[in-house]
């Protein structure tokens, strides 16, 4: 019984660790697929160019 409980706890820890590591990747993939975010036209383009210029200086 103790071995079963120990392996169940280990499996749960691995599941939580995997979920924590995969969640950001899934969020980025979802954002790219759904087209959310700032588009590169209008104000989004101005913001993008401004941030690029600040990063280069």
pLDDT digits (tens, 9 = 90+) for 1-56: 889 999 999 999 999 999 999 998 988 888 777 665 556 667 778 888 888 888 88
Give the pLDDT of residue 21: 92
Q: Give CA–CA dist 5/20, Å, rounded.
A: 23
Give the pLDDT of residue 18: 94
Residue 57 has pLDDT above 80, yes or no: no
Give the pLDDT of residue 43: 76
Give the pLDDT of residue 46: 84
Q: How many other C-beta atoms lie within 10 A of the C-beta of residue 48?
A: 14
């Amino acid at each position: 019984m103790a071995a079963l409980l120990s392996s169940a706890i280990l499996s749960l820890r691995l599941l939580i660790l995997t979920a924590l590591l995969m969640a950001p990747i899934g969020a980025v993939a979802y954002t790219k697929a759904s087209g959310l975010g700032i588009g590169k036209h209008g104000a989004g383009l101005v913001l993008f160019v401004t941030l690029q210029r600040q990063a280069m200086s």
